[in-house]
Structure 1
Amino acid sequence: MGGRSRPRGGAAHRRGPRRACPHSESRRSSMLDHVIRGATVVDGTGAPACTADVGVRDGRIAAVGPQVTEEARTTEDATGLVLAPGFVDPHTHYDAQLFWDPYATPSLNHGVTTVAAGNCGFTLAPLHPDRPEDADYTRRMMSKVEGMSLVALERGAPWSWHTFGEYLDALEGRVAVNAGFMVGHCALRRHVMGAEAVGGQPSDGQLAAMVRLSHEAMEAGAWGLSTTQSSSHTDGDGQPVASRHARPQELLALARAVGEHEGTQIEAIVAGCLDQFSDAEIDLLVEMSAAAGRPLNWNVLTIDAAVPERVPRQLEASERARKAGGRIVALTMPILTPMNMSLGTFCALNLIPGWGEILGLPVPERIGRLRDPAVRAELLRRAGSKEAGVFRRLTNFGRYVIGDTYSEANRGLTGRVVQDVAEERGQDPFTCLVEICAHDELRTVLWPMPTDNDPASWALRAETWRHEDVLLGGSDAGAHLDRMCGAPYTTRFLGDCLRGRRLVGLEQAVRMLTDDPARLFGLRGRGRIREGWHADLVLFDPERIGAGQATLVHDLPGGSPRLDAKALGVRAVWVNGVEAIRDDVVTGAVPGKVLRSGRDTRTVSTR
């Protein structure tokens, strides 16, 4: 995307009388690497924006003030543009993609300069040195549970490590974003217990070995522990992933280990994250955070005015944690991120009780069963029952929009709503949808329209975002690659704040994307525009900031597909003072750092 040589801003952002920025300190005499002149600086703290020059030297912000006069190797006029700290995405799965895509696209394009990965209990390390089959198991698990291309996993990553430290070393010096990684419970369990990790319970010696292994990972720089007990997480064999078999004693032992290391966290997923926590789940999360003396975050808080009891129930965990000496933080997305569905490949519909058995059949048999009225009736009954939980929102099939089609019989249906087609054909919506998909041998792409796009739901979101234990994030970037594209949430949110619903002011919106997540993770010197801090910066046009429509591209190793979305209005992104993006195009530089706990993060108090 080409940029304008003289960008113009809205009236509120045009350069006017200079107001002194509160960030100016003493200047150093050596030449600056780059100066961004006349930008509207939004520093990440929530303070009012000000017009200022920002100078960068040796990867850090060296000068912020009304007029930086030091000599610089390069300068640019940013009149009318907003300069913000680089965005911090607290929940990604870039663990594998960074090997074939060091730029973490499209997150970097959308201003994300720091990513937290290794979430949900899933990491690529450690791997047992004497069991090469563990790498194959891990690849198949990641393909199933996180929707990653198996071919890309096999061809795109070197799989040359065994320890967690060796995994981090394999990424060092070759990434364009800053990246920190939790160590996944599933990998710890598999390393110690082998195949018995799925279904088995560790002996005292095995639990001790698991704890030792977690200590080794955190000593090497892991940000802490991630784990899952979610019913939606199954491995490549269709079995519950390893950590789902862990009992509270095991989880608490690992949580206590986290508390022995500086700058660490816990990230945990339980079944109730999909809808509403049970009392036992709240007790477990509270005990884990309190035992570690560290914050615990979970993903993702779904906000829907049609289910008003969900938010207070989920945030009850945070309230109880504070009383127990812990802290529980809910991640929630500030935009609606559509996820496509398919009757042909594994998707969220498979997770509705009773649906997986049918949708897991070979395609010809699956089509036959789906065309059986009795089978459809039973599927609809299960989909509408309480046991479907949050997935009930996916079962209004008349509100599905038809995406890509592949047969002559379906010509002209792309973009149409199933309800309209069903009325034309005299069919009920689910029968109509099944017939459309059957003509494509179940390859049809389906997009459910969101049920929570009403004014009441957006008002509830704005209220919930103000809670001290709610954090924006949960993009899942790097996962579910052909199903969803959550990475652009940063630019979409800013565009909505500036030109759409305007639920949050610009300064507050930037703080929610930068300083808030940086402070949760205890990032040292990141998340704000301040002298001496790392020069992770985003320069954007407030009149254009946003994201294009997600489109399917085939650029993964082996030609596998993923969804991508262009960044709109992002002039440039700097990581550690080096330009990594210019007008939505990667520069080829890889200035990112592997951020290691203790060295790059400090301990965040739970009190």
Structure 2
Amino acid sequence: MSEKVSRRDFLMESTKAMAVLSVSPLKIDASPSFDLVLRNGTIIDGTGSPGAIADIGISGDRIAAIGSIAAEQARRAVDVRGLHVAPGFIDIHSHSDGSILAYPGAESRVYQGVTTELTGNCGSSAAPISGLRAAEARNTWLADEGIKADWDDVASYLETLDRSKTAINQALLLGQGTLRESAIGMVDRVLSTDEMKQILHSTEEGMDQGAYGLSTGLEYTPGTYTPIEEIVEMSRIVARYGGLYASHTRNEVDRHLEAVHEAIEIGKRAGVRVEVSHLKVCGSRNWHMQRSSIALIEAARASGVDVLADAYPYTAYSTGLDLFLPAWAREGGSPAIVERLRDAKLRAQMRMEAESYILKLEPGGYDLIVISDLRSERNRALVGKNMIEIAGIWKIEPAEALMRLLEEEETGVSYIGHAMSPENVEMVLTSPLVMIGSDGSTMAPTGRAAQTRPHPRSYGCYPRVLTLYCRERRLFDLPTAIRKMTSMPADQIGLADRGRIAAGKKADLVIFSAEGVRDGATFDDPHRYPTGIPHVLVNGVFVIENGVHTGARPGHVLRRG
């Protein structure tokens, strides 16, 4: 773990490099004029270098100059004296594929300083919608938001985003599970030669149309049915395009080390850049593995495998409640699961295996499983309650309550699981090979989202790093924290013109108070915006100004190449 930073050192960061610019200031005194000048801010440029006080001149959607800019050169000037200016935060692990269409203002993201997000993670992407998944996807994708999924491939999905005019930038990974389901459905079997050709063609087509890489969700169906050889073949295509392979690994519990090793092995065999998604190990019985998994990644990188990881600053995760069911019980998707739950013998077997999984986390750990959302209004009052409380309401055993909830909601249940240790979270976040990724999604405290109790990471991930782990715990200095949110994910994704403050780069900027920034979202009250971030610019346009959303939607849809 890196050495903690003293409070004195932290406060000095804002003045350390003032001398750098005062020794040889850049005096700009000729045309052209700038559309906007941010004056007197302490610039944290995203590279990990100390901060420096300077002006930033913006022309159009790009940073045009940094230095001491004459007042007459600015069409508009905003004095940000006493504040820090950083590149806009880049969320390398987002699930906003669909929700950005429902909430194009991206309120939960932009209020915390996120200006770009990479979606399509954990093996599931909004596109393509084709083959065996087409009918169900069109009927269910965002249906509760009244949005029709009328695209077919990556190109038409990205065009849909273009038309929707989002507040922040969007980039996409191909979901391996999405491609496999399109080809053969939610079944557990090896692909035929022709089916493999179809999936490889879909991978190449998606990369041609602008995807930045491939993701897997190997705990989920149909990813869990996928052998390593299949993923390697897909990843070889991604590697040819210089793309990224991001993996929600096959196990984050008792076989965590094997799962991390598999992700590394895929990178080695395919020659592809690897991102281990939301690096963590769940359950107190398994926490001892965390140091070893970090060591695995370090050793792989030292041996030449291009592998990094992302993580979020919380001790709880969130996913679908059906994850507790064994893989055989999830084959065929929701309709097949519900049918099995109505068979007494199969239900008993599913209940027994689900309880076994929960025991891998915590003995009797049903109180750590908190419902965050569900499909129907019938059980809406259960949102925010844990499985012990629900079992008490229904006067049944917790394991049976879990089965009943899955059946009644036709598996449409999300939950928050409190399963990681604070010490491990700190260990992971301080690793130089780990960047920040929220694993959250775009939402707002309005519409259907307001009826849910989501994980607070969707509103507070980045301010929480700055508040708890940088300013209060002092695990790393401010430039290091900013690098983990900006240039590090930009380089990993392949975003050459974002993630740094430099002339010629896109003007995605977050302006914040290093001493005043604070995350507001909690598990009990997750729909709260952070404080201490008065301004956020996306492509040179204020989306947050003086702490208020301007309504502007200047985000770009990013396409690889």
Contact preservation (8 Å) 2:17, 2:51: no
**Rounded Cα–Cα distance in structure 1 between residues aligned with 2:549 and 2:508:** 15
User: How big is each residue's C-alpha offset from its partner over 1:128-167, in whole Å with a ceiling of 9 and x where there is no partner?
Assistant: 3xx6x73332357xx7xxxx86412xx22442x2221121
Aligned mate of 1:489, from 461, 465, 472? 461
Where in structure 2 are the equivalents of 1:508-527 lying within 5 Å? 508-527=480-499
**Rounded Cα–Cα distance in structure 1 between residues aligned with 2:102 and 2:233:** 35
**Rounded Cα–Cα distance in structure 2 between residues aligned with 1:590 and 1:194:** 38
TM-score (norm 1): 0.72
Q: What amino acid is aligned across from residue 213 of structure 1 in structure 2?
A: S
Aligned mate of 1:577, from 537, 540, 543? 540
Contact preservation (8 Å) 1:566, 1:584: no
1:215 aligns with 2:217: no
**Per-residue deviation, 1:172:** 2.1
Aligned mate of 1:273, from 240, 252, 256? 252
Where in structure 2 are the equivalents of 1:145-224 lying within 5 Å? 150-152=143-145, 155-159=146-150, 161-172=151-162, 174-191=165-182, 193-195=183-185, 198-224=187-213
Where in structure 2 are the equivalents of 1:13-32 lying within 5 Å? 18-21=18-21, 27=28, 29-32=31-34
Q: Which residue in the other structure is 1:603 paired with? A: none
Which segments of 5 or more consecutive residues in structure 1 lack a partner in the other structure? 1-9, 234-239, 341-345, 367-374, 405-410, 554-562, 599-607
Q: Which residue in the other structure is 1:260 paired with? A: 240
How many equivalent pairs are there? 524
**Per-residue deviation, 1:114:** 0.9
Where in structure 2 are the equivalents of 1:63-212 lying within 5 Å? 63-69=65-71, 71-128=73-130, 134-138=133-137, 150-152=143-145, 155-159=146-150, 161-172=151-162, 174-191=165-182, 193-195=183-185, 198-212=187-201
**Rounded Cα–Cα distance in structure 2 between residues aligned with 1:54 and 1:114:** 20
Taking structure 1 as reference, are residues 163 and 338 closer, same or farther at Cα in structure 2, changes over 3 Å only?
closer
**Rounded Cα–Cα distance in structure 1 between residues aligned with 2:328 and 2:149:** 38
Q: Which residue in the other structure is 1:472 paired with? A: 436
Contact preservation (8 Å) 1:398, 1:429: no
Give SS of 1:64's match: strand
Taking structure 1 as reference, are residues 416 and 502 closer, same or farther at Cα in structure 2, changes over 3 Å only?
farther
Q: What amino acid is aligned across from residue 184 of structure 1 in structure 2?
A: G
1:315 aligns with 2:306: no
Taking structure 1 as reference, are residues 493 and 213 closer, same or farther at Cα in structure 2, changes over 3 Å only?
same
Amino-acid identity (%):
27
**Rounded Cα–Cα distance in structure 2 between residues aligned with 1:351 and 1:321:** 32
**Rounded Cα–Cα distance in structure 2 between residues aligned with 1:517 and 1:12:** 26
**Rounded Cα–Cα distance in structure 2 between residues aligned with 1:402 and 1:135:** 29
Taking structure 1 as reference, are residues 47 and 18 closer, same or farther at Cα in structure 2, changes over 3 Å only?
closer
Which segments of 5 or more consecutive residues in structure 2 lack a partner in the other structure? 1-9, 374-380
Q: What amino acid is aligned across from residue 207 of structure 2 in structure 1?
A: M
**Per-residue deviation, 1:399:** 6.9
User: How big is each residue's C-alpha offset from its partner over 1:544-565, in whole Å with a ceiling of 9 and x where there is no partner?
Assistant: 3122235899xxxxxxxxx522
**Rounded Cα–Cα distance in structure 1 between residues aligned with 2:173 and 2:215:** 6
Give SS of 1:250's match: helix
Taking structure 1 as reference, are residues 312 and 208 closer, same or farther at Cα in structure 2, changes over 3 Å only?
same
Aligned mate of 1:43, from 20, 42, 45? 45
Aligned mate of 2:55, from 46, 53, 56? 53
**Per-residue deviation, 1:351:** 4.4
**Rounded Cα–Cα distance in structure 2 between residues aligned with 1:417 and 1:257:** 43
**Rounded Cα–Cα distance in structure 1 between residues aligned with 2:504 and 2:288:** 45
Structure ranking higher in helix proportion: 2
**Rounded Cα–Cα distance in structure 2 between residues aligned with 1:137 and 1:308:** 38
**Rounded Cα–Cα distance in structure 1 between residues aligned with 2:215 and 2:387:** 40
Q: What amino acid is aligned across from residue 534 of structure 1 in structure 2?
A: K
Q: What amino acid is aligned across from residue 291 of structure 2 in structure 1?
A: P
**Per-residue deviation, 1:117:** 0.5
Contact preservation (8 Å) 1:419, 1:429: no
Give SS of 1:535's match: coil
Aligned-residue Cα RMSD (Å) equals 4.7
Taking structure 1 as reference, are residues 504 and 139 closer, same or farther at Cα in structure 2, changes over 3 Å only?
farther
Q: Which residue in the other structure is 1:286 paired with? A: 264
**Rounded Cα–Cα distance in structure 1 between residues aligned with 2:272 and 2:19:** 40
Contact preservation (8 Å) 2:16, 2:51: no
